[in-house]
Structure 1
Amino acid sequence: MAPLKAAKAKAEWKKRARKPSSKVLLGAEPSELGADDLEELAHDKDEYFRLGDVDEQFRDYAALALKGDHANRPLWVCPDGRIFLETFSPVYRQAYDFLIAIAEPVCRPECVHEYVLTPHSLYAAVSVGLDTQTIITVLNRLSKVALPDEIREFVRASTGNYGKVKMVLQRNKFFVESAYPKVLRKLLKDPTIQQARVTDEDDEGLAGSFHRSAALPDQAAAELGNTDVGAEVDADAAPGLDAGEAAAAAVAGALHPEREVHSFEIEPTQVEHVKARCLPGGLNYPMLEEYDFRNDTINPDLAIELKPHVTHRPYQEKSMAKMFGNGRARSGIIVLPCGAGKSLVGITAAARIRKSVLVLVTNSVSVDQWKHQFKLWTNLQDHQISRFTSDQKEAFTTAAGVTITTYTMISYSGRRSDESAKVMEEIANREWGLLLLDEVHVVPAQMFRKVIGIVKAHCKLGLTATLVREDERISDLNFLIGPKLYEANWLDLTRAGHIANVQCVEVWCPMTKAFYHEYLKKENAARRQLLYVMNPNKFQSCQFLIQYHEQVRGDKIIVFSDNIFALREYAQRLRKPFIYGGTSHQERTRVLAAFKRNPEVSTVFLSKVGDNSIDIPEANVLIQISSHAGSRRQEAQRLGRILRAKQAKPGAVGAGEFNAFFYTLVSRDTQEMFYSTKRQQFLIDQGYAFKVITNLLDATARGELQLSSEEDQLNLLAKVLSAGEEEAGVEVLADADDLAAKRSAGGGAVRTAGTLAAKSGAHGLTYLEYDTGARAAKPRTLTKAGKPRHALFRRRAQGKE
Structure 2
Amino acid sequence: MDVDSGADSLSLVRRDFSRMPLKVDHNSRPLWISPDNGHIILEGFNTLAEQAQDFLIAIAEPVSRPSFVHEYKLTPYSLYAAVSVGLEPDDIIEVLNRLSKVPVPPSVLNFIREYTASFGKIKLVLKQNKYFVESSHVDILQMLLRDEVIGQARMPEAAKAATVAQTAPGVATEAAGPGTPGTSKAAAQDGTPQPEQGEHDLFSAVIGVYDADELDEDDQVHSFEIKEEFIEVVKRRCNELGFPMLEEYDFRNDHLNADLEIDLKPITHIRPYQEKSLAKMFGNGRARSGIIVLPCGAGKTLVGITAACTIKKSCLVLCTSSVSVMQWRQQFLQWSNVPESQVSVFTADEKQKFSGAAGIVVSTYSMVANTGKRSHTSQKMMNFLESREWGFILLDEVHVVPASMFRRVLTKIKAHAKLGLTATLVREDQKIDELNFLVGPKLYEANWMDLAAKGHIATVQCAEVWCPMTAEFYREYLREKSRKKMLLYCMNPNKFQAAQYLIQYHESRGDKIIVFSDNVYALEAYAIKLGKPYIHGGTPQIERVRILQNFQHNPIVNTIFLSKVGDTSIDLPEATCLIQISSHFGSRRQEAQRLGRILRAKRRNDEGFNAFFYSLVSKDTAEMYYSTKRQQFLIDQGYAFRVIMNLIGQDEMPNLVYATKSEQIELLQSVLIAHENAANVGTDVGPDEFSVSSSAPRAQRMTGSLNALSGAQHMSYVERNRSMNKTLGSEQPRHRAFQKRAANSRKRT
Q: What TM-score do you get using the length of structure 1 for normalisation?
A: 0.79
2:201 corresponds to which residue?
247
Please say if residues 171 and 297 of structure 1, whose CA atoms lie closer than 8 Å, have aligned partners that are also in contact: no
Indicate how the Cα distance of structure 1 residues 718 and 656 shifts in structure 2: closer, same or farther if over 3 A, else same: farther
Please say if residues 278 and 287 of structure 1, whose CA atoms lie closer than 8 Å, have aligned partners that are also in contact: no
1:101 corresponds to which residue?
58
Measure, in 1, the Cα distance between the counterparts of 2:51 and 2:456. Answer: 19
In the alignment, structure 1 residue 741 sits paired with structure 2 residue 688? yes
Please say if residues 87 and 111 of structure 1, whose CA atoms lie closer than 8 Å, have aligned partners that are also in contact: yes
Please say if residues 501 and 658 of structure 1, whose CA atoms lie closer than 8 Å, have aligned partners that are also in contact: yes
2:726 corresponds to which residue?
none
Residue 290 of structure 1 deviates from its aligned partner by 0.8
In the alignment, structure 1 residue 139 sits paired with structure 2 residue 96? yes
Residue 631 of structure 1 deviates from its aligned partner by 0.9
Cα-to-partner distance string for 1:352-404 (whole Å, 9 max, x where unaligned) = 11111111111121111111111110112332222222222222223222111
Residue 170 of structure 1 deviates from its aligned partner by 5.9
Tell which deviates more after alignment, 406-415 or 473-482: 406-415
Spell out the pairing of 1:459-538 with structure 2 (5 A cutoff).
Answer: 459-522=417-480, 525-538=482-495
Measure, in 1, the Cα distance between the counterparts of 2:653 and 2:192. Answer: 60
Amino acid paired to 2:60 = A
Measure, in 2, the Cα distance between the counterparts of 1:645 and 1:217. Answer: 46
1:604 corresponds to which residue?
560
2:498 to 521, 541, 554: 541
Please say if residues 555 and 621 of structure 1, whose CA atoms lie closer than 8 Å, have aligned partners that are also in contact: yes
2:586 corresponds to which residue?
630
> Aligned with 1:485: secondary structure?
strand
1:413 to 341, 346, 371: 371
Measure, in 1, the Cα distance between the counterparts of 2:173 and 2:419. Answer: 26
Please say if residues 455 and 604 of structure 2, whose CA atoms lie closer than 8 Å, have aligned partners that are also in contact: no
In the alignment, structure 1 residue 668 sits paired with structure 2 residue 625? no
Please say if residues 91 and 185 of structure 2, whose CA atoms lie closer than 8 Å, have aligned partners that are also in contact: no
2:519 to 552, 563, 566: 563
1:360 corresponds to which residue?
318
Measure, in 2, the Cα distance between the counterparts of 1:453 and 1:257. Answer: 29
Measure, in 1, the Cα distance between the counterparts of 2:521 and 2:212. Answer: 63
Residue 569 of structure 1 deviates from its aligned partner by 0.8
Measure, in 2, the Cα distance between the counterparts of 1:479 and 1:153. Answer: 24
> Aligned with 1:115: secondary structure?
strand
Amino acid paired to 1:534 = M
Spell out the pairing of 1:132-531 with structure 2 (5 A cutoff).
Answer: 132-169=89-126, 176-178=133-135, 180=137, 183-184=140-141, 187=144, 196=154, 211=167, 214-215=173-174, 222-223=187-188, 243-244=197-198, 247-248=201-202, 252=206, 259-260=215-216, 262-267=220-225, 269=227, 272-273=230-231, 276=234, 279-280=237-238, 283-522=241-480, 525-531=482-488
Q: Percent identity?
A: 55
Residue 279 of structure 1 deviates from its aligned partner by 3.5
> Aligned with 2:585: secondary structure?
coil
> Aligned with 2:93: secondary structure?
helix
> Aligned with 1:520: secondary structure?
helix
> Aligned with 1:625: secondary structure?
strand
Residue 662 of structure 1 deviates from its aligned partner by 0.3
In the alignment, structure 1 residue 64 sits paired with structure 2 residue 20? yes
Please say if residues 574 and 601 of structure 2, whose CA atoms lie closer than 8 Å, have aligned partners that are also in contact: no
Please say if residues 556 and 603 of structure 1, whose CA atoms lie closer than 8 Å, have aligned partners that are also in contact: yes
Residue 267 of structure 1 deviates from its aligned partner by 3.1
Amino acid paired to 2:85 = V
1:17 corresponds to which residue?
none
> Aligned with 2:664: secondary structure?
helix
Number of paired residues? 682
Residue 743 of structure 1 deviates from its aligned partner by 8.2
1:615 to 564, 571, 574: 571
Measure, in 2, the Cα distance between the counterparts of 1:607 and 1:255. Answer: 49
Please say if residues 211 and 284 of structure 2, whose CA atoms lie closer than 8 Å, have aligned partners that are also in contact: no
Please say if residues 560 and 605 of structure 1, whose CA atoms lie closer than 8 Å, have aligned partners that are also in contact: yes
> Aligned with 1:605: secondary structure?
strand
Measure, in 1, the Cα distance between the counterparts of 2:185 and 2:573. Answer: 32
Residue 91 of structure 1 deviates from its aligned partner by 2.1
Measure, in 1, the Cα distance between the counterparts of 2:524 and 2:232. Answer: 53
Residue 296 of structure 1 deviates from its aligned partner by 1.8
Measure, in 2, the Cα distance between the counterparts of 1:752 and 1:55. Answer: 47
Bigger Rg over Cα: 1
Residue 546 of structure 1 deviates from its aligned partner by 1.1
Measure, in 2, the Cα distance between the counterparts of 1:227 and 1:87. Answer: 30
Amino acid paired to 1:124 = A
In the alignment, structure 1 residue 125 sits paired with structure 2 residue 82? yes
Residue 466 of structure 1 deviates from its aligned partner by 0.5
Residue 93 of structure 1 deviates from its aligned partner by 2.2
1:689 corresponds to which residue?
640
Residue 97 of structure 1 deviates from its aligned partner by 1.3
Indicate how the Cα distance of structure 1 residues 164 and 54 shifts in structure 2: closer, same or farther if over 3 A, else same: farther
Cα-to-partner distance string for 1:70-103 (whole Å, 9 max, x where unaligned) = 1121111111200011122222222111111110
Please say if residues 501 and 650 of structure 2, whose CA atoms lie closer than 8 Å, have aligned partners that are also in contact: no
Please say if residues 84 and 113 of structure 1, whose CA atoms lie closer than 8 Å, have aligned partners that are also in contact: yes
Please say if residues 145 and 151 of structure 2, whose CA atoms lie closer than 8 Å, have aligned partners that are also in contact: yes
1:751 corresponds to which residue?
699
Indicate how the Cα distance of structure 1 residues 98 and 51 shifts in structure 2: closer, same or farther if over 3 A, else same: farther
Please say if residues 360 and 406 of structure 1, whose CA atoms lie closer than 8 Å, have aligned partners that are also in contact: yes
Measure, in 1, the Cα distance between the counterparts of 2:448 and 2:235. Answer: 38
Please say if residues 385 and 401 of structure 1, whose CA atoms lie closer than 8 Å, have aligned partners that are also in contact: yes
Structure 2 portions without partners, runs of 5+: 178-183, 692-696, 703-749
Please say if residues 225 and 254 of structure 1, whose CA atoms lie closer than 8 Å, have aligned partners that are also in contact: no
Measure, in 1, the Cα distance between the counterparts of 2:428 and 2:445. Answer: 20
Cα-to-partner distance string for 1:685-721 (whole Å, 9 max, x where unaligned) = 1100011111115564255312112222121111111
Indicate how the Cα distance of structure 1 residues 220 and 294 shifts in structure 2: closer, same or farther if over 3 A, else same: farther
> Aligned with 1:504: secondary structure?
strand
Please say if residues 290 and 443 of structure 2, whose CA atoms lie closer than 8 Å, have aligned partners that are also in contact: yes
Q: What TM-score do you get using the length of structure 2 for normalisation?
A: 0.84
Residue 251 of structure 1 deviates from its aligned partner by 6.2
Measure, in 2, the Cα distance between the counterparts of 1:470 and 1:220. Answer: 40
Amino acid paired to 1:741 = D
> Aligned with 1:717: secondary structure?
helix
1:787 corresponds to which residue?
none
Measure, in 1, the Cα distance between the counterparts of 2:187 and 2:670. Answer: 66
In the alignment, structure 1 residue 710 sits paired with structure 2 residue 710? no
Residue 173 of structure 1 deviates from its aligned partner by 6.5
> Aligned with 1:684: secondary structure?
helix
Measure, in 2, the Cα distance between the counterparts of 1:400 and 1:207. Answer: 30
In the alignment, structure 1 residue 573 sits paired with structure 2 residue 520? no
Cα-to-partner distance string for 1:400-432 (whole Å, 9 max, x where unaligned) = 221111111122222222222222222222322
What root-mean-square deviation, in Å, do the aligned CA atoms of Structure 1 and Structure 2 show?
Answer: 3.4
Measure, in 2, the Cα distance between the counterparts of 1:726 and 1:194. Answer: 48
Please say if residues 130 and 228 of structure 2, whose CA atoms lie closer than 8 Å, have aligned partners that are also in contact: no
Indicate how the Cα distance of structure 1 residues 56 and 170 shifts in structure 2: closer, same or farther if over 3 A, else same: farther
Please say if residues 189 and 283 of structure 2, whose CA atoms lie closer than 8 Å, have aligned partners that are also in contact: no
Cα-to-partner distance string for 1:539-593 (whole Å, 9 max, x where unaligned) = 111111111111x211111110010000111111222221112223333233222
Tell which deviates more after alignment, 375-384 or 481-490: 375-384
Residue 518 of structure 1 deviates from its aligned partner by 1.3
2:45 corresponds to which residue?
88
